[in-house]
Structure formats: structure tokens, C-alpha cells
Amino acid sequence: MPLTSTTLDAVKQLLTTGEVSHSKLADLPIGETLGLWTLSADQQRSVATPTLVTLLRILPTQSEVIGAILSCEPDIRQAWQQIACARLQELGQQRDGAGLCEAISTLGYCAETLLELLPQSKLDATSFTALERSVFEVPADQAIATPKVYRVLGATAPLIEGDQGKLGAALPNVDQLNPAQNWLKGRLIQPPSPATEVSQPQKQWHTTSILSGSWADYAPPESEERPELAVMYWVLARPWCFLLAQIVFTQEAWAAERISGELMLELDPSNVALAYRPPQVSVLISSAEGDEILCGSLGELLLRVLHQLGIDILASQVDALDAQLAPVIEALIQQRVWQFSQGAGGYRPHYTIHPAFSDTCYRAIGSKYFNRLASSVTATIRSTSEQWAKERRMTAKQTSTSDRRFVLTP
């Protein structure tokens, strides 16, 4: 199969941005069949799926993820399976039981298939040497490539040998003004990124099926003289800004009930000097009885909310999310969406919704798009917070009666 560097570049773009022109992946048809990507609604773009994100999380490098995608093509897979068979035979001849067990464990579903292919095993160079050098750094028949060959075959084995791969359904395009259409199960969101689009205003409303990670300045679709509405447009068009704005919006609505607890976003007093770009914001939930449950960080809450919504982050790791959120919070404070309070009268330093943005949420554009059409996101934030507090409360090991705060072990 004549795969070119153009195809590999397209795969890299897919892994980085979440979508690429469909024609550029025409030489890799099995990826779509297995649900690693799906066609956009207009059938012009290949769009990454949560299944592809799983490969990003399983494999240690992007190169190996590309190798895994290539391994789904039948002729490439057969060639690499023959090499894997030969390596397994070597381990057997060497009576390396530990090595054999490790290899079989890595190969997963694929191991049983390899048993059937043992008569076809061979350690010859394949016709895909150039591709192999790009993903393994050496030809696949070289011993140094063997662990990588095992990993890419094993990572894709559930989809192929396990028969779990299936065509994905196309999602509607992202609509900056319609949260009900954007926050759908199966959608991917790019990690928070300082990428700016100011120099290319025509692309601010470009067709996409992936939620952007940018929090760059945003020009409304039409002339808007009122600054508060310009801010609302910015929040609606920037997914991470939207999520964080929804959290303080939920916080305000929850507190207004005065009967069923409260969501609090607190900052450790030692980090007050970093309040406008906090390294971590703590999430506390207070019960109707007045107990405060320290649940974890804001990043953890967002990961739980995204999981409940059925949305995944297009990234190999998500453990740095709190640090990635810091500049987004700074932008929200500058735009008067969030506000920081030093804390007084028994309150710790904390964050709440800015009154100016709160007012906008109940007027015209805000009432329709941020409030009503985003009601499912608001409800998910509330229910996820309550469930998280319940879980933490059940696992609490120590209780401080002085401030009624549950001290939890990690």
C-alpha cells in the first residue's frame, strides 16, 4: 500500500487538532471503519473520536499511536504479525517464560491470533520499511522495534481481533451560539491553549466538529457596541471559558436556594499572590447541614463533568489540567466573568461570578444561549458536584469539628 509522508502528516494533524480533510486519509480506510475517526456532517472532514483518544492514552508516544493506526490496515498488520510471531518463537526457544508472558500480556486479544499464524512467522524486512522508520525509528524486523510492534498490535487488538471496532456516527458542526448542539456525547475538546485567531478573523467561525481549546480574543459575528454582550459572545465561542463561566453561574444559582448546600471555589491563602493565575483552585461542597466537603481541584471537577457529558479531551494526558486552566481563569477575571475575593468574615479567598456577567446571563443573548440552551450543562455541573461530595463524604477518614470540614485522604 503506497502510503506517503502526506498521509502521515494528515494523521499527525488529526491527533493534534482533531480533524483533517477526509481526502487526506483516503489511503487509510480501515481507521474510519473501526471508529478511530468519523466523517463530519458535510462529509468533507475526518473527525477524531473518543476511540482514537483511547489510543493516545494507552501508547507512550504519538509515533506509536501513528503506528497503531497504520497497523489497522490488513497488509501492514499481517506483515507485523508475522514478525511478532517470529519474536514469540524466539522467546519460546530461549525458554524465557517471563518475557513470553509479558509479550502475550501486551498483545492482548492479538496473542491468540498469533498462535494461529505461527506457521507464517518470519523475520524478514517488510515492504513498509520507510513507514516503520518513521514510527519505530528502525525497521520492524529489528529487535529494538519489537516492544513497539507488540504495543501497537496490542493497543488495536480490541478493535480488530476483539471485534469492538465499529463505525462512528457523525456529530453536527459546532455552533458557537448553541451550547445544546455543542456539548454532545462523543464530542472532543482540545486541551486549553493560548492559540490566537486574532490575525485570522475569518477563521473564528470556521466549520469544525471539535471544541476549540483557545481562549483568544473573539470578534462577535456582527457589530456589537455593548461590551457586556461582546463578553458573552466570547464566552459562548470559547469552550473552556464557557465551562468555567457555567461553573460560577451554577455556583450562584445554587447558593441562591439557601436550603441545599453550596459550591465553593477556594484558593489556598498561601497562593493569594497568584490569585489571578492560580496554580490550583479547590472545590468544596457544603451540605444543607453546613458540613463542608473538600472534594478536590477545579481540574478534577471539570474532568468529571466532561465524563458525565460524554466528552473527552484530545490529549494523551490530562493530569496537568489545573495548570492549563490558570491562564484561562486570568482571562475570565480580566473580562469580568469571574471575580476574586480576598475572603473575610470567616471566608477563605475564593472565586465567584462577576455581578456584571451575572446580569448579562439573564438578559437577551445570555438568557437564551448561555442560560436556557446550556441548561443541560448547568444541570450536569450541579449533579456531578453533588455526587462527588457524596463519594468524598463516604470515604472521609477524619472529621474536624472546629470548622466542620471533612479532611479526606487522596
Model confidence pLDDT, tens digit, residues 53-103: 999 999 999 999 999 999 999 999 999 999 999 999 999 888 888 999 999
Residue 170: inside a domain: no
Same domain, 145 and 281: no
pLDDT at residue 343 greater than cutoff 90:
no
The pLDDT, as a whole number, for residue 222 is 61
Q: Report pTM.
A: 0.90
Q: Quick one: pLDDT at residue 177?
A: 86
Q: Do 104 and 235 have their domain in common?
A: no
pLDDT at 261: 80
User: Considering its fold, how many domains does the chain have in total?
Assistant: 2
pLDDT at residue 401 in the model: 46
Going by C-beta distance under 8 Å and a sequence separation of 6 or more, which residues neighbour residue 187? Answer: 171, 209, 210, 211, 310, 311
Decide the pairing of beta strands 350-353 and 262-266.
antiparallel
Domain-terminating residue out of 132, 160, 188: 160
Asked whether residue 20 falls in the same domain as residue 116, the answer is yes
Is residue 169 included in any domain, yes or no? no
Spatial distance between the Cα atoms of 156 and 136, rounded to a whole number of angstroms = 16
- Tell me: do 138 and 256 sit in the same domain: no
Residue 166 lies in a domain: no
Strands 188-189 and 312-313, how do they pair?
A: parallel
- pLDDT, position 291: 82
Answer yes or no: is 171 within a domain.
no
- Predicted local distance difference test score (pLDDT) of residue 402: 44
- What does the pLDDT look like over 146-173, one tens digit per residue? 999 999 999 999 999 999 999 988 999 9
pLDDT at position 114, please? 92
Pair (264, 353) in one structural domain: yes
pLDDT for residue 3: 79
Least confident residue range of 30-39, 169-178, 275-284, 302-311 = 169-178
- Please, are residues 15 and 66 in contact by the beta-carbon 8 Å criterion? yes
- The chain-wide mean pLDDT, for the chain, equals 90
Same domain for 125 and 193, yes or no, is: no
Report d(CA 214, CA 381) in Å as an integer. 21
The verdict on 206 and 342 lying in the same domain is: yes
Residue 386 lies in a domain: yes
Is residue 197 domain-shared with residue 296, that is, in the same domain? Answer: yes
Final residue of a domain: which of 129, 160, 191? Answer: 160
Give the Cβ contact number of residue 94 at 10 Å: 10
Q: Answer whether residue 107 shows pLDDT above 60.
A: yes
CA distance 380 to 102: 41
Of the candidates 74, 35, 33, 70, the residue with the CA atom closest to the CA atom of residue 52: 35
Residue 292's pLDDT band (cuts 50, 70, 90) = confident
Residues 391 and 259 in one domain: yes
Whole-number percent of the chain with pLDDT over 70: 91
At residue 201 the predicted structure's pLDDT band, cuts being 50, 70 and 90, is: very low
Q: Tell whether the model's pLDDT for residue 224 goes beyond 70.
A: no
Please report the pLDDT score of residue 221 as a whole number. Answer: 61
Question: Rounded to whole angstroms, how far apart are CA atoms 299 and 309?
Answer: 15
**Strands 292-297 and 405-407, bridge-based pairing:** parallel
Task: Note down the domain range covering 219.
Answer: 179-407
